[in-house]
Amino acid sequence: MEDTDRERSKEEFEKEIIASMKWLGLEWEGPVVHQTQRRKRYQECASQLIQSGKAYRVDEITEAVKFRMPKEQIQFFDIIKGAIQFDTNLFDDLVILKSDGFPTYNFACVVDDHDMEISHVIRGEDHISNTPRQIVMFRELGWQPPKYAHLPLILGSDGSPLSKRHGAVSLKAYEDAGFLPVGILNYLSLLGWGPGGNQEFFTQEELIKKFSLKRVNTTAAAFDPNKMRFINSLHLKQMSSEEYLCEGKAFLVHKGLLEGKMKDVELNKILLLFRERIKTWRDLFREADYCFEENITFDSEAIQKYFQDSEVRPRLKAVLEEIKKSNDFSATNLEKIVRGKAAEFGIEAASLIHPIRLAITGVSVSPSLFELMEVIGREKVMKRIAFTVENFTNLPMKVKVEYETLKDDKEEDEAVDD
């Protein structure tokens, strides 16, 4: 943990880093080491440089120490960028210990990498200019520097530096939005890297097996939130049914959407019905909220589209009466009832299907209507159609909700039935 900047290093930041890595399944060897606990070691190495004439104290009052930068041409091989050369004549002497006795970034990295036997330093290309400074310090301390690989930066979809306006800025926000750890890893691995071919779906084991620094691009990658949602949806679809249902329920319980009012059998039917439609767990809030709520609200645009015909109300009432007569509430029988009524009214089935969907969901788009009716259940379906018929001209309207965590893509899947 690079915590020597005591003003900016806070315990909550460290906890978030550790929690995020654990959530992603990224493990490390040994205990977490803090640079502030290694202050004595840094001072020992600074003293070694002072004794050899490679560094000097700024004055006798403070503990500040500067490294004497040699004037030469430094060349190193970057695994991604290739040969890179710097003229150290352009560098000033480098502060390695601050006046409070704590090390600066470049010096602490050198000592840490040596002591911890780091073989490869893999970091963003914005650190390239630090590398020649660190290599010189390795040499003057009599140590062998590690190999370096500088990754291209990640930009926003508009080509500007990545920032909050391009999406969430912490992994916690993506966890709360219902992304899977493996979905995040899969997408991030494809930013600036690829194994060749068109494969986009990778398990963590496949990534470990196929990854190579030699295939990392040298140009910046663009972060695309919608592409990440798509990759995540592939992992949702590839989960076993048992794992999918277990994790889906856990997310809904965590978000307080269930509150113990739904049986597992009913919940499982809902989760499976929406499996092909959601890209993250949070999409269930948007796609299937009417399955969990007792009372629904209605989309105003859908009402304008499907409830303007004066014949809609009596047709809904007739369908309700027909459903009451039947003891069979299967999707197959419901489709038979609705299509039979449409033929009786002399209209296309779609002219009846859309108003029924709106009456029981409050929206114009959903999974297959008849499967959905079966999942929602006989009691709720009849109650909602009856409510719609009774309050046809005074239905409660939806209040538009913006999801703050992430930018949702605006595409809506079309209903599978006409």
Q: What is the pLDDT of residue 405?
A: 42
What mean pLDDT comes out for the span 24-38? 92
Q: From the centroid of its chain, how far is CA 142?
A: 43
State the residue for tokens 């005591």.
6
Rounded CA separation 45/40 (Å): 9
Residue 413: pLDDT above 50? no
359 residue type, one letter:
A
The class level of CATH for 11-151 reads alpha beta
What mean pLDDT comes out for the span 2-26? 88
What mean pLDDT comes out for the span 12-40? 92
Q: What is the pLDDT of residue 414?
A: 37
State pLDDT tens for residues 253-290.
888 777 666 788 989 999 999 999 999 999 998 899 99
> What six digits make up the tokens of 416?
């599978």
Contact 23/247 with Cβ under 8 angstroms? Answer: no
Is residue 169 helix, strand or coil? coil
- Write out the DSSP string of 312-345: HHHHHHHHHHHHHH-S--SHHHHHHHHHHHHHHH
Q: What is the pLDDT of residue 167?
A: 66
Residues 17-37, buried b or exposed e (16+ Cβ, 10 A)? eeebeeebeeeeeeeeeebee
Rounded CA separation 356/354 (Å): 5
Give me the CATH code for the 152-238 domain, please. 1.10.1160.10
Residues facing 161 on adjacent strands = 155
Residues facing 151 on adjacent strands = 124
204 residue type, one letter:
Q
Q: What is the pLDDT of residue 9?
A: 83
Residue 415: pLDDT above 70? no
Residues facing 304 on adjacent strands = none
Query: How far, in Å, are 22, 247, 395 from residue 208 at the CA level?
Result: 17, 24, 54
Q: What is the pLDDT of residue 404?
A: 43
SS (H, E, C) 210-264: HCCHHHECCCCEECCHHHHHHHHHHHHHHCCHHHHHHHHHHHHHHCCCCCCCCCH
Rounded CA separation 123/53 (Å): 31
Q: From the centroid of its chain, how far is CA 211?
A: 21
Q: What is the pLDDT of residue 412?
A: 37
| Residues listed for the chain | 418
Contact 95/66 with Cβ under 8 angstroms? Answer: yes
State the residue for tokens 């914005």.
126
Q: What is the pLDDT of residue 400?
A: 65
Q: What is the pLDDT of residue 84?
A: 97
Topology of domain 294-390, per CATH? Arc Repressor Mutant, subunit A (1.10.10)
> What six digits make up the tokens of 215?
């295939």
* pLDDT > 70 fraction of the chain, expressed in percent and rounded: 93
Q: What is the pLDDT of residue 388?
A: 97
Contact 47/16 with Cβ under 8 angstroms? Answer: no
What mean pLDDT comes out for the span 353-377? 96
Residue 328: pLDDT band with limits 50, 70, 90: very high
Query: How far, in Å, are 125, 127, 138, 148, 366 from residue 81 at the CA level?
Result: 9, 13, 21, 10, 49
> What six digits make up the tokens of 264?
């597992």
Residue 416: pLDDT above 90? no
Residue 408: pLDDT band with limits 50, 70, 90: very low
Q: What is the pLDDT of residue 118?
A: 96
344 residue type, one letter:
E
